[in-house]
Structure 1
Amino acid sequence: MPAIVVEATDLTSPLFVVRTWALLAGCLSFSLVASMDAPEPHGTPLSRCRFRTFWTLCMFTWCCFFVLTFLIHLLRVIQFHSLIPVSWKNLTVSVAALGALMCLSASVVFSWIVADHRNPSPRAVAAAVASGLTFLAYAVEAGVICTRDREQRGYMASVPGLLKILQFWGGCQMIPLVALVLLVRHSLVLAEASGLYSADEAWRLWVSAAVYNLALLMSLTSVVIILGDCTGRCPLPFDRFLAIFSLLGVLLYMVATVICFTKVLLLRKNGHNFTNDGSELVVMETVIASTTLLAYTVDFAFSIKLLYDRCHT
């Protein structure tokens, strides 16, 4: 068992400072939100359900990454990280990059919630600011790790690795959106309040849900294999394995993006101005699906280039 040795240089390193910054800002974010009563939004049942879903998602994001960062921080300080059966270099940059993306989403959504409320409290405004500082801390941490020497950083700190984090983030963002859309579809009260989905459009909803879940499962599988240093145990060469997953992701999100733009065109045809209850969910889904499709496309291009270079060396 390694001895616990804490040196002065470890306490003044850039990673120690930014991780401490992320811990403090994240703790401040969820502490402020937990100390105040969630305001009851006005409007339709869909509006209230959307509010509670996004409120819970923000709290989960801050608490989850606070715990992950605290464990990474603690294991690194006491020098026990070598006992963890994962790739430490890939784990730290993965948590930092995903934390930056998730906290960015939480900051935007929570700021939207605060701005949408009639009389936001000072605690809510402070929590929104603290969430923004948390995003900056994780972004700086990911930048510090990615600018290290090639020998000190892992695969997830490269461009293809960061693209896989972006793909995983896109899949995670679709979970609450699809859940809300499912609620709209299957609740008569919400369906009547929104007027967005008819029985003829049910297949689009289920196809989208299947696409997002399958793509998220593929992204999770790729990240787990990399973090667990299991690349040599794949039945196929790992570069081909990643190329196949990237191609499947491109095809799946092409279908999802087409469905999303079809929904947007239907909204425009039906006269919705994207400010009614439920319309903004379709717009958010379209933006995230397009971003994730772009990430899969660029990742697939990198995979093809890697295969081409290896075949000609």
Structure 2
Amino acid sequence: MVTLDFRTLTVPVGIVRILEMILTCITFSLVASVGRGIDSFWTWCMFTWCFCFCVTFLILLLEFTSLSSKLPISWDDFTTAFAMLATLMILAASIIYPIFFACSNCGKQIGATVTSCLAFILYAVEVGLTRAKPGELSGFLSTVSGLLKVLEAFVACIIFICLEPTQYTRFAGLQWCVAVYSICFIFALVVIIFTICRLLSLFPAPFDKILIACNVLAVLMYITAVVIWPLYSFKNNPRPSWCAAGGRLGAVCPWNKLVVISFMTCFNLVAYIVDTFYSFRLVFFVSRT
């Protein structure tokens, strides 16, 4: 039986979600009204805003009708993980869209950029509202370590988007780096899916111990990637002169993508180090006290 819960629309997180829907709707409406040919970057941005709007609407609808409590998943983990993912996706779209499509005399494009940035702020606020507080019982993905898992997976996706087979098939070292990105991404994705679907009990050992072991291994593997990737990528490979061009031409330069991958590798290494610290703290300090 469906029971309407009007309180879900009046609590702070409910109000934030309504504003998120309004801003993402305005953003993709402005961008769609401008019109654009088939373009991967334009498609990515439109997908981001439409995806976030639809999932936020679905979350509000399921909570308003109380159907969320009847789903065989960890609802708190799902909503927190989505809020973190939406924050990262809209942040990326808010950076990519103005770089490629905005100009000084493009009113709608500038307006879409502003509303997208506001939507990013709101999703970041939602992450803060749904994140587990100290001493509060909640799902794994509501903790700092859980949110870091979403961040690590998202950064790995950015790395995969920038990868080109012609760049890493030349050297075994670069292939090792791709293996590092893939293995760590798969584990992060498995943790997220298993947590949301309440399948952590299927792990052959205590989850917290597996988490620590995999995080330590990921740190060691990413340390090698931080050294090996730029070493082989930029060896005898100076930046082409045409890559210095402004606008889209320079942004899609394969050499520039190597720089992005190098930066994201360092970023993910820091994320895994922080994740490992929180995992150790959770197991050896918080659990004992």
Q: Would the TM-score normalized by the shorter structure come out above 0.5?
A: yes
Distance 1:106 1:38 in 2: 16
Match of 1:248 in 2: 217
After superposition, the Cα gap between the structure-2 partners of 1:147 and 1:90, relative to the gap in structure 1 and judged at 3 Å, is: closer
After superposition, the Cα gap between the structure-2 partners of 1:36 and 1:258, relative to the gap in structure 1 and judged at 3 Å, is: same
Cα deviation per residue 1:69-117 (whole Å; 9 max; x = unaligned)? 11111101111111111111111111111111111111111121135x6
Distance 1:259 1:39 in 2: 38
Shift of 1:120: 6.0
Contact 1:160 1:302 in 2 (8 A): yes
Match of 1:24 in 2: 22
Q: Which runs of 4+ in 1 moved over 4 A?
A: 147-150, 271-274, 310-313
Q: 1:236 aligns with which of 205, 211, 214?
A: 205
Match of 2:268 in 1: 292
Distance 2:115 2:64 in 1: 25
Contact 1:211 1:252 in 2 (8 A): yes
Match of 1:282 in 2: 258
What secondary structure sits across from 2:47 in the alignment?
helix
Within the alignment, does 1:215 sit opposite 2:191 as a pair? no
- What is the count of residue pairs matched by the alignment? 281
Contact 1:25 1:131 in 2 (8 A): yes
Match of 1:86 in 2: 73
Q: What are the residue-to-residue correspondences of 1:130-279 with 2, within 5 Å?
A: 130-146=115-131, 150-151=135-136, 153-178=138-163, 181-182=164-165, 185=166, 201-262=170-231, 265-266=234-235, 270=238, 275=244, 276=250, 277-279=253-255
Report the more deviating stretch, 208-217 or 126-135: 208-217
Contact 1:114 1:120 in 2 (8 A): no
Distance 2:256 2:227 in 1: 17
Distance 1:120 1:111 in 2: 12
Match of 1:58 in 2: 45
Match of 1:301 in 2: 277
Shift of 1:291: 1.1
Q: 2:107 aligns with which of 95, 106, 122?
A: 122
What secondary structure sits across from 2:34 in the alignment?
coil
Report the more deviating stretch, 269-278 or 166-175: 269-278
Q: What are the residue-to-residue correspondences of 1:31-50 with 2, within 5 Å?
A: 31-38=29-36
Report the more deviating stretch, 127-136 or 258-267: 258-267
The one-letter code matched in structure 2 to 1:72 is I
Contact 1:114 1:125 in 2 (8 A): no
State the identity %: 31
Q: Which runs of 5+ in 1 are unaligned?
A: 41-51, 186-196
The one-letter code matched in structure 2 to 1:166 is L
Contact 2:156 2:185 in 1 (8 A): yes
Shift of 1:35: 2.8
Within the alignment, does 1:96 sit opposite 2:83 as a pair? yes
Distance 1:264 1:127 in 2: 36
Distance 2:158 2:168 in 1: 24
Q: Which runs of 5+ in 2 are unaligned?
A: 245-249
Match of 1:6 in 2: 5
The one-letter code matched in structure 2 to 1:286 is S
Shift of 1:287: 1.8
Cα deviation per residue 1:135-173 (whole Å; 9 max; x = unaligned)? 111111111112657446432222211211211111221
What secondary structure sits across from 1:138 in the alignment?
helix
Shift of 1:130: 1.8
What secondary structure sits across from 1:35 in the alignment?
helix
Match of 2:247 in 1: none
Contact 2:225 2:265 in 1 (8 A): yes
Cα deviation per residue 1:173-209 (whole Å; 9 max; x = unaligned)? 122111xx23xx2xxxxxxxxxxx597x444553333
TM-score by length of 1: 0.79
CA RMSD, 1 decimal: 2.8
